[in-house]
Amino acid sequence: MTKVIVTPGEIEFEAQPGETVMGAANARGLYWPTTCGGQGICTTCLSEVLEGADFLVGMGRSERKTLVAERGEAILRRPVRLVCQAIVLEGDTIKIAKPGVRGQE
């Protein structure tokens, strides 16, 4: 299992290899804002990877295409991912910055 820490708030949860970050969060009772329902066609779940990018599968073509279409080519110079598409590998800790993530009520 890989530990995921989301700031602000230092929310922590574990993710199994093969889960997306968003899927792991949702499975553990956390709400992650999304407009497209995790299909990777909006950028509502866009998050900055602060640590542990090596514990995520590399960005695919469709994720890259969505990021460029919605946010422009310059977004690719930042350590960002669509967490609905970011698949977790076996590792230590991934730290992500995303406002708006919270426990479900």
CA-nearest of 37, 85, 87 to 62 is 85
Residue 104, pLDDT above cutoff 60: no
CATH number at residue 30: 3.10.20.30
Split into its structural domains, the chain has a count of 1
Say how far apart CA 12 and CA 58 lie, in whole Å: 22
Percent with pLDDT over 70 in the chain: 93
Range of the domain at 27: 2-103
CB within 8 Å of 9: residues ≥ 6 apart: 101, 102
When pLDDT is averaged across residues 79-85 and rounded to a whole number, the result is 96
Say how far apart CA 69 and CA 2 lie, in whole Å: 31
Convert the pLDDT of each residue in 50-65 to its tens digit.
999 999 999 999 999 9
Q: Compute how many other C-beta atoms are within 10 angstroms of the C-beta atom of residue 26.
A: 18
